[in-house]
């Protein structure tokens, strides 16, 4: 089914403007606004699922009927629809969760508005077929996320928000600079035409500079080491559903997706950029994992683990780029499949983990693992969902994380890079150990005196967590069932393996 | 016919797994349903395993996944060794399920407990039946995960043990994964029956070592054994009896046999020496540590490690009789160690403690447990005519035969291995003398006056296992010739036991025992009446408590010997524990990285700038 | 040459953001970077002696004759549109940043970013 693409941006944008106005009308209107926000995210999810069943491989929407390159276009291809799906799932769950969770805070309407702005920005980034529009949507999502990180207005939250904002803005400036360089060298801002121009002329130093700026800028948004320093501050400071959004999809759409689009579809892959991504990915994986298992703050541990997991995704994509450039198409597509599948998996289980951490924090009032213990009895659902997510992220077989890691390892071994396979496996072991630590200190052991009376918060929070846990358990099917793989993952992989076809397809339409 | 067998293979593997997985999520209120389901399904699977045992090479094939050049297909195949071990694994599963019906762990969190037990049974059936290495790995990890869940049912202090076990076995699973994929890169297939690789290239040797790590960690051999005693202390004993004592051994040794005999063609060289050293060191070191333990479950756990050494040594000997001995020892060990853990569990359940210092004189209170425990203890110490003796004897013979092939370097060292094995056996006896003495003989502490025998649900499995010990000892040729030789596809070149005649020996031993009893009786009749008075010391009646001869003091001299003392201390502090040392290293590195993240924004900005510069140089230099 | 000045301005901003400890100065450094990029974009479209890219009603009639000369002489309008958008965005982020500075100052009582470091490790 073909869906008019601006809908994906319009729904959340309209919601963002009208929800605060509506909430001003009184108590009942407030809860109605929350309901509407939920409806908006759910409808986005439904649309994203419907978009999977579209008739053509690639769908181009020209805004205002201005044909490209004069007008602005939106492009929906396999990769975009994969990301839309991830955004839909995570934002639906996070919104459901915040319905109950955000009762703790004042100014819920503002929260809803910012949330919707962030969703609009992310959907826009994913769909944009124009470099400058990509930047605009990136800024919308980023600014909303800066504000959401500082939403609680406590000392740590403000500090984190400021640091995040400084680093994030510098990254945005890098990106804008890069876009300027691309425009200066190719004379167009349309991604398809830029791609065509770059690949007929070849890279000159100006474009290489632009590529470097993109890698640094988007790398910062994706929190790759050494650009990661804002993430462990920002993600734990945000309210739990926002942490889930940030770790689950924001770093992937603004960072990994944008970077991938640039490298594969516009600049074209080469061995150098491939290896650069591989190294960035590996360093992130190892550093993130080591930093994570020394943490005693539940959410900070999760945040560092996000760095490590994004490393997996980038490693998979970088490996794919390297192998593509060397001409090993089969292994390259396997590596890319692993990377993208891990991206989706990580979106689901990391957001679930952040939601469970929110549930724990709401019940116990603390994030410190050392002050918890024995919560398994008191918070049975939180415990179960957290265990499923942990098993998934650690790569215990029937759960989703195992399959994506397996594919990555197989791709590395198939390409003859045994040491990379060994590092992947090693980091996976570190991940296992850090989540065992969470289980051990938070959920097992002895219940402290002051937590004897706590209760689990149920209702919509529970629904959100169970939804994601079910997904975690069965997402392995995405790769195991041929039909699902052919609808969801393979189109996305094809977009990247034949990256330069993007220009041909878009211009041809 | 073949089709129905195939379906039954699937049922054996997947029904317990699916039901087990579902039971994990059953509400805590449901107590009865998990028990009933677990009992029914484990009985069903045991029945099926008997039926499967009567077939040869029937298979089930299901291509699960094909991406690019990666073929992942589930192949379940009835193979001689697999079906033989499957029979026993399912048997143990059923026995433990029955035993757990009355134990505490099986009652408090019954959904979690029985769910994990079923997962274990299904997972091990999967490992033993499947022919695809990657699926084997998947089942293998399911068993690991269910071990973790089972240990967490052990109450408040089990969290550390569970974490440590999962971390260590998880590490070995990671090695397994790497090893499997290396094999795949080497041979282009994942089918166990199709792989046969010479260990001559670096890659194949690394692959062998990785797979070996997985096998010995699961089985619990040195140097990756330390999860076993830790979990032994705090896990429920029924769990210890099921997994580390029985099924983990079966699986670990199964994998070891597979890689030594089927997957790799071992060159008799360094790798054999590595295996033999692991075997010999495990036997001696673990038994030395076991001797000085004060905790019943910890002591048993160290013995569970020590015995693995025999199996590894037997397999390392690479002679038919040695390998058969290793496999037989694995089976025997599963039987008697399972029995010992069940006895220990019964004792702990009835008395509330597993500290040897606080036990004693239970022989009269719990005669059935005593009998079972005594038989199992004698068996593990290698006293003829029990089964432990037979398998150890076969391993000795294997080692001697190995010595006959003078060429290989490992073979030239055969006296070393043989001495280690025999010495280890003696030390085992020594430590079980202590165990039996401190629990069942000695003097009954006052607070244990009201102890009763356990319920029938618990002593029936124990006695059954003890009976099996005796049966396999006297009629050793039944399991050896009917089960193990066909399972390993060996035609015996030498008779299993050389000149050993079990019938004659049994008669002799029985005569000996009767003679001894006679002397005791005669002595008792002839002796004068002994006057019994309270103990006096400096004119005061002394408290009887202090007049005990505690078994825990038996080998104090050993542990305080110069040189050994430092080693024991270091061992207690975990200096030789790879988990602890790895943890220290990891935390050291983490501390450094955390120090770098000082919270100073300009520092972070500097990283960003430097990162940009480096990327710039890399990208612009080339183009 | 002009590009080099622009780049120098960019580096000045980056230097200011990286080295200065005062939060407000860091914000100023970022603003300078943004201006540098904006100027860069403007310069991309600038042409010495160029005309505005607007076609009046009277010129429409003879458009065929003027086209080539017109195209060769007029400045590129696109970057100007971009810069306008980018200025609006940077205004938004500037406002948020300053707001964060003020709130942080209220909490910590200092503008020195090296002393605002509760989150670390």
Span C40-96, pLDDT tens digits: 998 888 877 777 777 776 666 555 656 667 777 778 888 888 999 999 999 999 999
> What pLDDT, on a 0 to 100 scale, did the predictor assign at position B321?
81
Q: Are A429 and B170 an interchain contact pair (Cβ–Cβ within 8 Å)?
A: yes
CB contact under 8 A, A159 and C26: no
In a mutational test of the B interface, the residue from C24, C27, C121 whose CB has the highest number of chain B CBs within 10 Å is C121
> B551 falls in which pLDDT band (50, 70, 90)?
low
- Mean pLDDT for B135-147 is 89
509 residues of chain A, pLDDT tens digit each: 678 888 999 999 999 998 888 877 877 888 888 888 899 999 999 999 888 877 677 888 888 888 877 888 999 988 999 999 999 999 999 999 998 888 888 888 889 999 999 999 999 999 998 999 999 999 999 999 999 998 888 888 999 999 999 999 999 999 999 999 999 888 889 999 999 999 888 888 889 999 999 999 999 999 998 899 899 999 999 999 999 999 999 999 999 999 999 999 999 888 889 999 999 999 999 999 999 888 889 999 999 999 999 999 999 999 999 999 998 888 898 899 999 999 999 999 999 999 999 999 888 888 888 888 888 888 888 888 999 999 999 988 888 889 899 999 989 988 888 999 999 999 999 999 889 888 888 888 788 888 888 888 888 889 999 999 999 888 888 888 888 888 888 889 988 988 888 888 888 86
Assess A266–C contact: CB distance below 8 Å, yes or no. Answer: no
Q: How far is CA A151 from CA A24, A106, A243, in A?
A: 19, 10, 12
Q: Which two tokens stand for residue B312?
A: 């590894």
pLDDT digits (tens, 9 = 90+) for B477-490: 777 777 777 777 77
Instruction: Measure in Å the smallest separation between the Cα of B269 and chain A Cα atoms.
Output: 25
Predicted local distance difference test score (pLDDT) of residue A352 = 93
Q: Check CB contact under 8 Å for B611 and A219.
A: yes
How far apart, in whole angstroms, are the C-alpha atoms of residue A402 and residue A143?
35
Instruction: Give the residue on C whose Cα is nearest the Cα of A301.
Output: C121
Each residue's pLDDT tens digit, B254-281: 888 888 888 887 776 778 888 888 888 8
- Are C118 and A159 within 8 A, CB to CB? yes
Determine phi and psi for B310, rounding to 5 degrees. -60, -45
Neighbours of C112 (CB within 10 A): 12
Min Cα distance A471 → chain C (Å) is 33
Which residue among A413, A439, A480 sits closest to B182, beta carbon to beta carbon?
A: A413
Put simply, whether A130 touches C (Cβ < 8 Å) is no
Cβ partners under 8 Å of residue A381, min gap 6? A456, A458, A462, A465, A466
Q: Which residue of B has its CA nearest to A442?
A: B159
Subunit partners of chain A (3 or more CB pairs within 8 A): B, C
Crossing angle of the two packed helices B80-100 and B320-351, in degrees rounded to 10: 10
B270 to chain A, any CB pair closer than 8 A? The answer is no
CB-based contact (8 Å) between B536 and chain A? no
In angstroms, rounded to a whole number, what is the distance separating the alpha carbons of residues B375 and B336? Answer: 8
Contact (CB<8Å) A183/C30: no
Residue B623 has pLDDT above 50, yes or no: no
Is the ipTM above a cut-off of 0.95?
A: no
Is B601 in contact with A163 (Cβ distance < 8 A)?
Answer: yes
Interface test with A, best of B178, B619, B621 (most A CBs within 10 A): B619
Q: Which residues of C touch B602 (CB under 8 A)?
A: 18-21, 113-114
CA A455 to each of CA A95, A360, B232, B411, B449: distance values in angstroms, whole numbers, following the listed order: 22, 10, 34, 65, 43
Contact B589 A290 (CB under 8 A): yes
Alpha-carbon gap, residue B423 to B417, rounded angstroms: 10
Task: Give me the helices (H) in B352-475, please.
Answer: 367-380, 387-404, 409-412, 414-440, 456-474
Q: Is B450 exposed, middle or buried (0-12, 13-18, 19+ CB in 10 A)?
A: exposed
Q: Which residues pair with A73 in a beta bridge?
A: A62
pLDDT at B30 over 80: no
Per CB-CB distance under 8 Å, the chain B contacts of C18 are 602, 605-606, 609
Q: Which residue of B has its CA nearest to A390?
A: B145
Q: Give C-chain residues touching B601 at CB under 8 angstroms.
A: 26, 113-114, 116
| Both structure tokens of A98 | 């915040």
B68 touches chain A (CB under 8 A): yes
Using N-to-C axis directions, what is the helix angle for B158-187 and B227-234, rounded to 10°?
Answer: 140
Please tell me if residue A81 touches chain C, with a CB cutoff of 8 Å.
no
The residue that leads in pLDDT, B150 or B536, is: B150
Angle at the Cα of B336 (from B330 to B337), degrees rounded to 5? Answer: 80
In this structure, the number of other CB atoms found within 10 A of the CB of residue C91 comes to 12
Q: Which residues of B touch C24 (CB under 8 A)?
A: none
Round to whole Å and give the CA distance between B610 and A129.
Answer: 31
Residue B178 to chain A, least CA–CA distance (Å): 7
Number of B/C CB contacts below 8 angstroms equals: 31
What integer pLDDT is reported at residue B562 of this predicted model? 66
CB contact under 8 A, A183 and C41: yes
Residue C47 DSSP one-character state: -
Nearest-angstrom CA–CA distance, B592 and B3: 60
Mutate to test the interface with A, among C83, C95, C104 (most CBs of A within 10 A): C104
Q: What is the phi-psi region of residue B101: left when phi exceeds 0, alpha when psi lies from -120 to 50, beta otherwise?
A: alpha
Interfacial residues of B (vs C; Cβ cutoff 8 Å)? 594-595, 597-602, 605-606, 609
pLDDT attached to residue B1: 40
pLDDT at A123: 94
What's the CA gap between A382 and B457, in Å, rounded? 36
Closest by CA position to B485, among listed B293, B327, B253, B304: B327
Q: Do A184 and C30 touch (CB under 8 A)?
A: no
Out of A21-25, B414-418, B460-464, B525-529, give the one with best mean pLDDT. B460-464
- Sorted by where each starts, the structural domains of chain C and their CATH numbers stand as 2-52+61-115 (1.10.287.3510)
Query: Considering CB atoms only, which of C10, C101, C103 is closest to A153?
Result: C103
- Minimal Cα distance from A338: which residue of B? B67
Task: Enumerate the residues of chain A whose CB falls inside 8 A of the CB of residue B601.
Answer: 163, 166
Closest chain A residue to B135, measured at CA: A397
Q: Closest Cα of chain A to C60: distance in Å?
A: 20
Residue-wise pLDDT for B292-337, tens only, equals 888 888 888 888 888 888 888 888 887 878 888 888 888 888 888 8
Question: Is the Cβ–Cβ distance between A479 and B67 less than 8 Å?
Answer: yes
- Cβ contacts below 8 Å, chain A against chain B, sum to 173
Q: Return the top range by mean pLDDT from B237-246, B261-270, B601-610.
A: B601-610
Question: Are the C-beta atoms of A28 and A3 separated by less than 8 Å?
Answer: no
State the Cα–Cα distance between residues A367 and B161, nearest whole angstrom: 24
Nearest Cβ partner for A272 among B181, B593, B619: B619
Closest CA to B462 of B84, B201, B103: B103
On the question of pLDDT at B618 being above 50, the answer is yes
Q: Is the peptide bond before C71 cis (omega within 30 degrees of 0)?
A: no
Share of chain B above pLDDT 70, in %: 88
């Amino acid at each position: 089914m073909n869906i008019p693409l601006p809908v994906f941006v319009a729904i959340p944008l309209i919601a963002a403007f009208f929800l605060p106005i509506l909430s001003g009308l009184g108590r009942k209107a407030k809860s109605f606004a929350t309901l509407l926000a939920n409806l908006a995210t759910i409808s986005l999810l439904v649309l994203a699922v419907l978009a999977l069943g579209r008739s053509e491989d690639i769908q181009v929407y020209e805004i205002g009927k201005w044909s490209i390159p004069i007008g602005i276009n939106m492009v929906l291809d396999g990769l975009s629809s994969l990301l839309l799906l991830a955004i839909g799932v995570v934002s639906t769950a996070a919104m459901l969760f915040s319905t109950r969770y955000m009762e703790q805070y004042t100014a819920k309407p503002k929260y809803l508005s910012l949330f919707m702005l962030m969703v609009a920005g992310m959907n826009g980034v994913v769909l944009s077929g124009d470099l400058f529009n990509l930047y605009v949507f990136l800024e919308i999502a980023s600014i909303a996320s800066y504000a959401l990180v500082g939403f609680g207005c406590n000392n740590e939250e403000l500090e984190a928000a400021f640091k995040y904002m400084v680093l994030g803005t510098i990254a945005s400036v890098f990106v804008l600079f890069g876009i300027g360089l691309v425009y200066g060298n190719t004379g167009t801002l349309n991604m398809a035409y830029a791609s065509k121009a770059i690949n007929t002329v070849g890279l000159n130093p100006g474009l290489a500079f632009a590529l470097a700026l993109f890698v640094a800028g988007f790398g910062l948004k994706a929190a790759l080491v050494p650009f990661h320093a804002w993430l462990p501050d920002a993600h734990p400071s945000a309210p739990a559903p926002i942490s889930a959004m940030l770790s689950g999809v924001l770093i992937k759409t603004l960072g990994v997706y944008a970077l991938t689009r640039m490298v594969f579809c516009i600049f074209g892959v080469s061995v150098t950029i491939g290896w650069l991504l591989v190294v960035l990915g590996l360093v992130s994986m190892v550093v993130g994992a080591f930093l994570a298992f020394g943490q005693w703050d539940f959410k900070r541990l999760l945040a560092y683990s996000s760095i490590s997991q994004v490393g997996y995704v980038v490693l998979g994509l970088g490996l794919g780029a390297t192998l593509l450039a060397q001409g090993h198409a089969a292994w390259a597509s396997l590596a890319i499949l692993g990377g993208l599948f891990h991206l989706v998996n990580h979106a689901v289980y990391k957001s679930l983990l952040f939601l469970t951490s929110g549930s724990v924090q709401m019940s116990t009032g603390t994030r410190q693992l050392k002050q918890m213990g024995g919560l398994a009895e008191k918070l049975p659902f939180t415990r179960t969902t957290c265990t499923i997510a942990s098993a998934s992220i650690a790569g215990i077989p029937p759960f989703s994380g195992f399959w994506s890691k397996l594919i990555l390892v197989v791709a590395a071994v198939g390409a003859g890079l045994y040491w990379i396979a060994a590092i992947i496996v090693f980091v996976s072991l570190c991940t296992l150990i850090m989540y065992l630590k969470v289980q051990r200190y938070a959920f097992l052991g002895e219940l402290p005196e002051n937590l004897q009376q706590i209760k689990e918060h149920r209702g919509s929070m529970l629904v959100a967590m169970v939804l994601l846990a079910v997904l975690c358990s069965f997402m392995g099917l995405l790769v195991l069932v041929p039909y699902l793989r052919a609808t969801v993952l393979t189109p996305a992989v094809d977009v990247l393996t034949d990256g330069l076809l993007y220009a041909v397809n878009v211009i041809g339409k | 016919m073949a089709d129905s067998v195939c379906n039954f293979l699937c049922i054996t593997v997947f029904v317990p797994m699916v039901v087990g997985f579902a039971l994990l999520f059953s509400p805590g209120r449901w107590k009865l349903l998990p028990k009933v389901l677990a009992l029914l399904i484990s009985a069903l699977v045991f029945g099926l395993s008997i039926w499967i045992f009567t077939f040869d090479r029937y298979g089930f094939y299901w291509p699960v996944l094909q991406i690019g050049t990666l073929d992942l297909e589930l192949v379940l195949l009835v193979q001689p060794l697999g079906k033989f071990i499957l029979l026993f694994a399912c048997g143990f599963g059923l026995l433990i399920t029955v035993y757990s019906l009355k134990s505490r762990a099986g009652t408090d969190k019954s959904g979690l407990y029985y769910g994990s037990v079923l997962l274990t049974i299904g997972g091990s059936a999967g490992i033993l039946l499947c022919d695809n290495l990657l699926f084997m790995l998947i089942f293998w990890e399911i068993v690991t995960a269910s071990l973790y869940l089972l240990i967490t049912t052990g109450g408040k202090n089990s969290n550390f043990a569970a974490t440590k076990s999962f971390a260590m076995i998880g590490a070995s699973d990671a090695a397994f994964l790497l090893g499997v994929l290396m094999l795949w890169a080497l041979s282009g297939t994942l089918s166990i029956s199709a792989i046969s690789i010479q260990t001559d290239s670096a890659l194949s040797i690394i692959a062998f070592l990785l797979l070996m790590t997985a096998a010995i960690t699961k089985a619990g051999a040195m140097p990756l054994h330390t999860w076993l005693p830790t979990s032994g202390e705090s896990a429920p004993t029924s769990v210890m009896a099921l997994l580390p004592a029985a099924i983990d051994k079966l699986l670990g040794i199964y994998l070891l046999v597979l890689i030594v005999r089927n997957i790799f063609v071992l060159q008799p060289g360094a790798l054999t020496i590595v295996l033999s050293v692991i075997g010999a060191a495990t036997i001696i070191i673990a038994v030395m540590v076991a001797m000085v333990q004060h905790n019943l479950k910890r002591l048993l756990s160290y013995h569970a490690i020590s015995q693995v050494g025999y199996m590894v040594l037997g397999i390392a000997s690479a002679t038919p009789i040695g390998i058969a001995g290793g496999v037989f020892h694995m089976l025997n060990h599963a039987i008697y160690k399972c029995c010992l853990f069940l006895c220990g569990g019964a004792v702990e359940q009835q008395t509330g403690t597993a500290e040897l210092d606080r036990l004693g004189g239970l022989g009269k209170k719990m005669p059935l447990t005593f009998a079972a425990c005594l038989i199992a203890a004698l068996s593990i110490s290698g006293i003829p005519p029990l089964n432990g003796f037979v398998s150890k004897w076969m391993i000795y013979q294997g080692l001697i035969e190995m010595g006959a092939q003078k060429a290989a370097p490992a073979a030239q060292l055969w006296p070393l291995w043989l001495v280690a094995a025999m010495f280890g056996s003696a030390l085992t006896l020594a430590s079980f003398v202590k165990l039996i003495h401190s629990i069942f003989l000695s003097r009954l502490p006052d607070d244990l006056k009201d102890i009763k025998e356990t319920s029938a649900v618990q002593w029936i499995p124990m006695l059954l296992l003890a009976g099996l010990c005796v049966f396999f000892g006297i009629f050793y040729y039944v399991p050896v010739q009917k089960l193990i030789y066909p399972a390993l596809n060996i035609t015996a070149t030498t008779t299993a036991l050389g000149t050993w005649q079990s019938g004659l020996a049994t008669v002799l031993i029985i005569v000996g025992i009767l003679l001894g009893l006679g002397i005791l009786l005669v002595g008792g009749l002839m002796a004068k009446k002994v006057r019994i008075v309270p103990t006096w010391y400096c004119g005061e009646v002394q408290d009887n408590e202090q007049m005990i001869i505690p078994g825990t003091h038996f080998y104090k001299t050993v542990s305080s010997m110069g040189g050994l003392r430092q080693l024991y201390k270091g061992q207690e502090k975990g200096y030789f524990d790879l988990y602890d040392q790895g943890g220290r290293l990891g935390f050291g590195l983490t501390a450094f990285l955390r120090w770098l993240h000082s919270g100073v924004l300009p520092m972070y900005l500097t990283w960003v700038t430097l990162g940009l510069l480096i990327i710039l140089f890399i990208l612009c230099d080339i183009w | 040459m002009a590009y080099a000045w622009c780049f120098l301005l960019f580096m000045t901003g980056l230097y200011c953001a990286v080295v200065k400890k005062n939060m407000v100065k860091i914000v100023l450094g970022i603003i300078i970077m943004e201006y540098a990029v904006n100027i860069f974009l403007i310069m991309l479209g600038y042409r010495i002696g160029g005309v505005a890219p607007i076609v009046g009603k009277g010129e429409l009639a003879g458009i065929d004759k003027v086209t080539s000369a017109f195209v060769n002489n007029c400045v590129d309008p696109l970057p100007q549109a971009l810069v306008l958008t980018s200025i609006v965005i940077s205004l938004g982020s500037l406002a948020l940043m300053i707001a964060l500075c003020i709130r942080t100052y209220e909490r910590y009582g200092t503008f020195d970013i090296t002393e605002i470091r509760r989150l670390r490790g």
